[in-house]
Structure 1
Amino acid sequence: MKIAIAQLNPIIGDLSGNAQKIIAAAQNAVAQDAGLLLTPELSLCGYPPRDLLLNPSFITAMDMNLQQLAKDLPPNLAVLVGIATKNIQASINGGKNLFNSMALLLDGKVQKIFHKRLLPTYDVFDERRYFEPGSEANYFNLDGIDIGVTICEDLWNDEEFFGKRNYAAHPISDLSIIGVDLIVNLSASPYNVGKQDLREAIFQHSAVRFQQPIIYTNQVGGNDDLVFDGRSFAYNRRGELVCRSQGFVTDVIIVEFDPEQQDLTLGNITPQYKCEDEEIWQALVLGVRDYAHKCRFSQAVLGLSGGIDSALVATIATAALGKENVFGVLMPSPYSSEHSVNDALELSHNLGIKTQILPIGELMAGYDKTLGKLFTGTEFGLAEENIQSRIRGNLLMAIANKFGHLLLSTGNKSEMAVGYCTLYGDMNGGLAVISDVPKTRVYSLCRWLNRQGKNLLLESVTSNGTYESGEIIPHHIITKPPSAELKPGQIDQDSLPSYDILDDILQRLVREHESASQIVAAGHDAVVVDRVMQMLARAEFKRRQAPPGLKITDRAFGTGWRMPIASNWSAMQNSYQSQYTSALNADIQRKASCSSDN
């Protein structure tokens, strides 16, 4: 039996539009003689629908569209479609009102409904807010083949792989005991760096442990802050990869199950990306393209400072939307260096985007005059520096409002972490493109881009039809010291540790949850570590007001980051850590003493 894997890019809430995408995939599957079509988790409504699920009319409309979809699908093709279904026992037995489900559609009808059993509540996931977990192993028979059905998290609970169980239920073990011939996993698994290797390792381990061929189907596309990378795949019962689809694009691929061998046969395997920078680039471009189009923007505007962050964002936007749809605004102040303007203009020439220069010196003078009497006797400082950023933010917002453009914020993750950014200034925007990209990764991406050359940008085709070579990001942008240029001679390292040090400390704090003493033990200066911890905590109020940012790591400052603003823990934790360390050392000494006495 041929099985089609549909890697779909839904628009959340577009029930009829998503149904049409499923129908198109079904027609493709029939053309390739498939008997079963797999679609991702919640494929009819799009993932994650979040609080749309609390609207009863949304659930009713989903069911109506499902019934119509069953009638519109090609006959003799079984299709698994992701939906939310009502829990009719909730009013009697308690529990949530909905299930996260897969519907089996065949011969114009909904034949069966299967419920997701394991509901994640970590990082960006909050499924127990909406759904009741299913309680039964899910499977069906098609053409004499017993097919087990799992939904995303259902296969992320192997104690041999992870070292522990996160849930009491073990869906793949249950299906193995039942003796199904094949397991399918219908997912909406968001992208982060390195996650594909983890996915494939988990599924390979499960295939070998339970001697079960497994097919994994993933959603693709950008939905708000989340980017879904697709890269669906399948393993045979020996743990051999038999197919993998493309990344970051819609796709329909075929994998075949041989009933005699009771296993999957070898199909097409798309190669992995050559490096992390390549896959991050693909994720960011897709994230910008889908955010713009799904929010009904056709053009974007951003400030071009001549710095590396805005250069990277402009390049991403050009690849995502096309050079004719990106507008760069240069807003030099009296403190801006000549090379910053020239670097920004050279970048815009390389990209082929439109630009406008709007000097802000006179506007700064107007603020100085208005605030002069109030500020008399005070020294020039952050207030005056931030006025420059807010002038620029106002100009960009005015342009965005006037012409209906999407304003792209250009701040990176390192700045966002420590608050080296200005509310209502450079933080203005509808999308923070690189807010989950650390500064050191920004440099790495730009160097990678230049190694690829202009042929990476689809719009850089010359009149004779050939692709241009040569750097995209001007060399000077990459090599010069980073600076906000808000006062004479300013560079970032006047206020921050060097970015290689800062990013390592932030990685240990934000992702690894290391204590100050652990970070110091790793080789960092205690004073610097304490300062970074204080800056991270103090900047929480800024992050809460930031535009949504594209998530590319497994610990982003977005929907999965839930820190309090009003908190004194950052000031207290070093004291508690010292007390804990002293108590631990005393316990070690006591045990050593007891051991020597014995």
Structure 2
Amino acid sequence: MLRIAVAQLNPIMGDIAGNLTKARAARVEAARMKANLILFTELFISGYPPEDLVLKPSFLAACEKAVRALASDTADGGPGVIIGTPLSRESGLHNSIAVLDGGEIIAERFKVDLPNYGEFDEKRVFQAGPMPGPVNFRGVRIGIPICEDIWGELGVAETLAESGAEILLVPNGSPYHRAKMDRRHQVVLKQVIETELPMVYANQVGGQDELVFDGGSFAFNTDRSLCLQMPQFEEQITLTVWRRENDGWRCDEGEKANLPEGLEADYSACMLGLRDYVNKNGFKDVVLGLSGGIDSAICAALGVDALGKDRVRCIMLPYRYTSDESLKDAADCAKALGVRYDIVPISAPVEGFLEALHPLFEGTESGVTEENLQSRARGTILMAVSNKFGSMVVTTGNKSEMSVGYATLYGDMNGGFNPIKDVYKMQVYAMSEWRNSHVPNGALGPSGDVIPHNIISKAPSAELRENQTDQDSLPPYPVLDDILECLVENEMSNTEIAKRGHPLETVQRIEHLLYLAEYKRRQSAPGVKITKKNFGRDRRYPITNRFRDR
């Protein structure tokens, strides 16, 4: 019998001492479970992805010191440890795992297949390791491919099987995007079938800048049966019990958590990403402008769900174009969420700007410049509150707006983090409807209609001039979002998109706006990634770019 504890935990990037403490506490818990071995996730000691931090010799030395300290703990005869850490060796700097037992590091294995696409950039800092062999742990030959080693085409798992591995334990740092759990199951099942070995997939949980790691660790037996499914978006240590049978090792039936899907999963990712960004960066609370529109309303709801109502402050910043309807909607939303709500009119700063600029603007027509002064006055006030009280400003632009530049630099784009940066406008509506009828697991906010129905049903408007709506400048959002998804996620040509029923001129205009707004996106706050291709880590386009698909 072999008892393996799977540690699905939330490390903090660069907090090597804190991550060591967390690992030690998890090992104590594993000992209480009478585990023989505890499996941690990819680069747990350092945090993942560490980017250029691993180029600092002092950082690497601290990581190795922590691993050796944890190895010393195993002299007590308790559970052995498999833990991810960066290691610098004669062969280079490696994304590694260390196997600890009997007070020593008994084995090291290096990641072979280094991902270099989308959010992954490991070839920048790491060297690929050689094909690994299994590790003999207390008489059991364990194969330990690391994350991408089971996704790529290098045959790492097959090599381990051919080398005599009996069980495959896979430490991962696999970030969330929509429908990724299904893909993980498919990848692991393929490896189980090809190697004829059982596999444990251990994934970290927690937010790291734009990325959210959703956990959801699991295991498959060789008969393709799912024997373990841990929950997503929460920390957990779970024991798996393995028995050696005539045809190899088999895991007893374990926990089968119900996994969130669709809107629930997306909302949970946005909530966890915001919570961890605020907490891991040491902010005591957040502040945001509550306009009476749907984007700021869902960001306020996410803030309360992530942090609790006492850590969210909402400010209405009205001007002459702010409708009575918006004033009421914002107040109703704040009341439903139970947050502190202030009203700070922006008339004085806007009029002050206009008066100061009058000698320069005299003889010109009023237009977008004057409208943007309203947004910039609001941004200045929110940043002043942030400076004075140490609150982080939550910025609230959705992916549709960020795609076409329907946002004001140094105005409504001000802020430290944007939980809906990768959420298209129509998805914002759908998530809002979903939240009004559900409370996500782990949420600190109330149940019921936290986003007033009038906010969801009314026409969206920036309210920077009389009778303004978003559709004065943009196509209807269902049309815009479909075109953008084709351009951004799928890299389709304009003619291909037009065949979906959109006028070619409209597609060309949206493509032009998408390219034109690159300079704004480069200056935007980070935000949670929930799609296969977010702005920043995934989609990397030049700012200076004259190409257009004609």
What TM-score bracket applies, with the shorter chain setting the length? over 0.9
- What is aligned with 1:487? 465
Provide the secondary structure at the position in 2 that maps to 1:249.
coil
Provide the secondary structure at the position in 2 that maps to 1:431.
coil
Deviation at 1:456, TM superposition (A): 8.2
Given candidates 222, 239, 243, the residue that maps to 2:228 is 243
CA contact (8 A) 1:406 1:429 kept: yes
Deviation at 1:202, TM superposition (A): 1.1
- What is aligned with 1:475? 453
- What is aligned with 1:596? none
Deviation at 1:453, TM superposition (A): 6.3
Structure 1: distance between partners of 2:263 and 2:424 = 12
Given candidates 329, 343, 346, the residue that maps to 1:357 is 343
Matched, 1:564 2:550: no
C-alpha distance after superposition, 1:128-185 (max 9, x if no partner): 111111112231122332110110000002xxxxxxx4xxx21011112223111111
- What is aligned with 1:285? 271
CA contact (8 A) 2:413 2:525 kept: yes
C-alpha distance after superposition, 1:22-68 (max 9, x if no partner): 11111111111111110000000100111111111111111111111
CA contact (8 A) 2:488 2:539 kept: no
C-alpha distance after superposition, 1:521-580 (max 9, x if no partner): 12111011000000000000000001111111110012222210001112xx32xxxxxx
TM-score, normalised to structure 1's length?
0.89
Structure 2 counterparts to residues 59-458 of structure 1, below 5 A:
59-73=60-74, 75-89=77-91, 97-157=92-152, 165=153, 169-261=154-246, 262=248, 263-273=250-260, 275-452=261-438, 457-458=443-444
Deviation at 1:75, TM superposition (A): 2.6
CA contact (8 A) 1:454 1:472 kept: no
Deviation at 1:455, TM superposition (A): 10
AA in 1 matched with 2:63: M
Structure 2: distance between partners of 1:406 and 1:13 = 21
Given candidates 505, 509, 523, the residue that maps to 2:501 is 523
Gaps in structure 1 of 5+ consecutive residues: 90-96, 158-164, 461-468, 575-598
CA contact (8 A) 2:10 2:204 kept: yes
Deviation at 1:434, TM superposition (A): 0.6
Tell me: CA distance 1:424–1:525, structure 2 relative to 1, closer, same or farther (3 Å). same
C-alpha distance after superposition, 1:287-312 (max 9, x if no partner): 11111111001210000000000000
CA contact (8 A) 2:395 2:415 kept: yes
Tell me: CA distance 1:454–1:142, structure 2 relative to 1, closer, same or farther (3 Å). closer
559-568 or 14-23: which moved more? 559-568
AA in 2 matched with 1:141: N
Structure 2: distance between partners of 1:67 and 1:211 = 34
Provide the secondary structure at the position in 2 that maps to 1:522.
coil
- What is aligned with 1:11? 12
Deviation at 1:72, TM superposition (A): 2.8
Structure 2: distance between partners of 1:138 and 1:449 = 48
Residue-pair matches, total:
546
TM-score, normalised to structure 2's length?
0.97
Structure 2: distance between partners of 1:377 and 1:172 = 72
475-484 or 47-56: which moved more? 47-56
Cα-Cα RMSD: 1.4
Tell me: CA distance 1:300–1:376, structure 2 relative to 1, closer, same or farther (3 Å). same
Matched, 1:548 2:526: yes
- What is aligned with 1:33? 34
Structure 1: distance between partners of 2:252 and 2:224 = 12
AA in 2 matched with 1:551: K
C-alpha distance after superposition, 1:489-540 (max 9, x if no partner): 0000000111111111111111111000110112111011000000000000
CA contact (8 A) 2:8 2:40 kept: yes
Q: Which has the larger radius of gyration?
A: 1
AA in 2 matched with 1:536: L
Percent identity (aligned): 42
- What is aligned with 2:479? 501
AA in 2 matched with 1:149: I
Structure 2: distance between partners of 1:47 and 1:453 = 29
Structure 2: distance between partners of 1:138 and 1:442 = 48
AA in 1 matched with 2:165: V
Structure 1: distance between partners of 2:257 and 2:194 = 25
Provide the secondary structure at the position in 2 that maps to 1:501.
helix
Deviation at 1:377, TM superposition (A): 2.1
